[in-house]
Amino acid sequence: MERINAWTTYKKEDEQKLEKLCTAYKKFLDNGKTERECAAYTEKLARKAGYISLSEAKAAGKKLQPGDKIFTIYMGKTVALFQIGKQPLAEGINILGAHIDSPRMDVKQNPLYEDNELAYLDTHYYGGIKKYQWVTLPLAIHGVVAKTDGTVVTVNIGDEKGDPVFCVTDILIHLAGEQMEKKAAKAVEGENLDLLIGSRPLKGAQKDAVKANVLKILKKKYGMEEEDFMSAELEIVPAGKAQDAGLDSSMIIAYGQDDRVCAYTSLHAMFEVEDPEKTTCVLLTDKEEIGSVGATGMQSRFFENTVAELLELSGGYKELAFRHCLENSSMLSSDVSAAYDPIYASCFEKKNAAFFGKGMVFNKFTGSRGKSGSNDANAEYIGRIRGILEKNQVLYQTAELGKVDIGGGGTIAYILSLYGMEVIDCGIAVLNMHAPWEITSKADIFETEKGYEAFLREA
């Protein structure tokens, strides 16, 4: 089944809308290189769109009415937004669920050391990465430091004009004979992904003078002592902004597009839909890259608790109405898919691959090998979604994540399906997935946002 290239269908008006959407998306990426930053920037966008926080609604004793817009942020890392529909909540919610964490390196709790008058931060990589991709790149540090007095200091070094950047070093090619004989997984060891952060000694220091100078700078800039690393969350991410890619500017290259490309298109769609029949929801979750675990991952109860709160504010919580609400809901698990790469064609089964420019991508299942660990959406739900998209002239395609015995991956889809709701993975094709710099097609971003809007209105 050959799918049409979206670019061939666009009029000038479409291209203008596409560029406006992608410009705003790049700004979202630049302002959200960590899950905390994404959550904070989402709050700004939500308030601008007329949303109020759940805590504000509760404090005001507000009874929710159709059209009301509510958001909540959990532990600064996970976001849920709702627009109350005309139908009772027990009739279900139309949900778009993406994640805002991305593969990276995290600074360890006892990280700072000096070796031969070079200062380093020891790191632990987060999520699935090819470790060799993270050496010799300009890197930035983003995150927070929580002090014992309760104050929390924001750290952002490497992405502002005039900032220094950091680097993980690699052995020069002239001495790399032994390294080049290793398998790619072992060419760079995880314990060697240490961040070079300084080489100037502090005058007068008797021991570890370079480390002492680093600590002096941290103390001056952030009021930070060495022991404060124990209660810090510092993430090492590529330095630099999202940019257009290609002579035709048809693509975007940036860090963290898995899965912030689906997070932003979901958000934009949410803001565009007004007065929905059913309540609409966007979930932006944390920890997906490590199994959706922890208090801010999708496996926690934050979503259930929020829906229970909404029911209470809508006229009173009832257990059966709560169960019906979850069971009657429909969801698109807004997550990316692997784009077909002709250079690595042997990894794909071409008839069932996702291609740049062919629109939003549906993965009926993810998991690995014999669909292990996947949510396998049923045919009736897929048929209903197809009808919505075709009615709204949205271009779409279906795919698997590589060849059967090669591919594998997971999303939050299976977790939401445990409530009995209909769920399917649906997002945007990505080249270089999980690399420091990932690539997406502007046409696919545009088509996916349109598809998400249609889903929220009509599912």
**Residues 145, 221: Cα–Cα separation, whole Å:** 12
The pLDDT tens digits for 274-323 are: 999 999 999 999 999 999 999 999 999 999 999 999 999 998 899 999 99
List, in order, residues 6 or more apart from 29 with CB less than 8 Å away: 241, 242, 254, 255, 256, 257, 260, 264
| Three-state secondary-structure class, residue 401 | coil
Element (H, E) at 370: none
CATH classification at residue 402: 3.40.630.10
Lowest mean pLDDT among 302-311, 349-358, 408-417: 408-417
Beta strands in 19-103 (DSSP E): 52-53, 69-74, 78-83, 93-99
Q: Which among 444, 282, 443 is positioned nearest to 361, based on CA atoms?
A: 444
pLDDT at position 172 is 96
CB proximity list for 321: less than 8 A, separation 6 or greater: 88, 89, 90, 311
For residues 382 and 427, membership in a common domain is answered with yes
pLDDT of 90 above 90: yes
| Single residue among 178, 210, 238 that ends a domain in this structure | 238
Residue 261 and residue 380 in one domain: yes
Stretch (H or E) spanning 217: helix 209-222
**Cα dihedral 383, 389, 393, 395 sign:** negative
Would you say residue 367 has pLDDT above 80? no
298 plus 168 within the same structural domain: no
- Decide: helix, strand or coil at residue 135: coil
Reported as a single tens digit per residue, the pLDDT across 250-259 is 999 999 999 9
Examine the domain organization and report whether 147 and 73 are in the same domain.
no
Q: Which pLDDT does position 352 carry in this prediction? A: 92
176 and 226 in a single domain? The answer is yes
Q: Are residues 336 and 422 in the same domain?
A: yes
Average predicted confidence (pLDDT) for the chain:
95
Q: What is the pLDDT of residues 69-85, one digit of tens each?
A: 999 999 999 999 999 99
Look at residue 376 in the predicted model and tell me its pLDDT.
Answer: 83
322 and 420 part of one domain = yes
Q: From CA 339, how far away is CA 399, in angstroms rounded?
A: 9
CA-CA-CA-CA torsion for 423, 35, 242, 340, nearest 10 degrees?
-30
Q: What is the pLDDT of residues 8-59, one digit of tens each?
A: 999 999 999 999 999 999 999 999 999 999 999 999 999 999 999 999 999 9
Check whether 368 has a pLDDT greater than 80: no
Q: What's the pLDDT score for residue 369?
A: 76
With cut-offs at 50, 70 and 90, classify the pLDDT of residue 410. confident
**Looking at per-residue confidence, does 378 or 431 come out higher?**
431
User: Per the domain annotation, does 247 fall within a domain?
Assistant: no
Give me 73's structure tokens. Answer: 């942020």
Is residue 365 scored above 90 in pLDDT? no
Question: Is residue 366 over pLDDT 90?
Answer: no
The tokens describing 167, both together, are 């680097």
Q: Which of 175, 205, 238 is the last residue of a domain?
A: 238
pTM over 0.85: yes
pLDDT tens-digit profile of 172-206?
999 999 999 999 999 999 999 999 999 999 999 98
Do 88 and 120 belong together in one domain? no
pLDDT of residue 142: 98
Residues linked to residue 435 through DSSP beta bridges, in sequence order: none
Domain span at residue 183 reads 104-238
For residue 148, tell me if it sits in a domain.
yes
The CATH number that applies at residue 214 is: 2.30.250.10
Contact 375, 333 (CB under 8 A): yes
3-state secondary structure of 186: helix
Residue 426 pLDDT grade (very low, low, confident, very high; cuts 50, 70, 90): very high
Q: Are residues 142 and 160 in the same domain?
A: yes
Number of structural domains in the chain: 2
Residue 431 pairs in a beta bridge with: 439
> Is a pLDDT exceeding 80 seen at residue 373?
no
Residue 186 is predicted with a pLDDT of: 94
The pLDDT tens digits of the residues spanning 98-154 come to 999 999 999 999 999 999 999 999 999 999 999 999 999 999 999 999 999 999 999
Would residue 174 be called left, alpha or beta, if left means φ above 0 and alpha means ψ between -120 and 50 degrees?
Answer: alpha
Domain limit, last residue, from 209, 238, 267: 238
Residue that the structure tokens 């934050």 belong to: 302
Count of CA atoms in the C-beta half-sphere (13 A) of 69: 18
Say if residue 302 is in the same domain as residue 155.
no
Q: Are strands 93-99 and 279-285 parallel, antiparallel or unpaired?
A: parallel
Name which of 236, 257, 89 is nearest 167 in CA terms: 236
Taking phi over 0 as left and psi of -120 to 50 as alpha, with beta for the rest, 131 belongs to alpha
List, for residues 376-408, the tens digit of each pLDDT value: 889 999 999 999 999 999 999 999 888 888 877
**What pLDDT, on a 0 to 100 scale, did the predictor assign at position 404?**
87
Mean pLDDT for the stretch of residues 420-446: 97
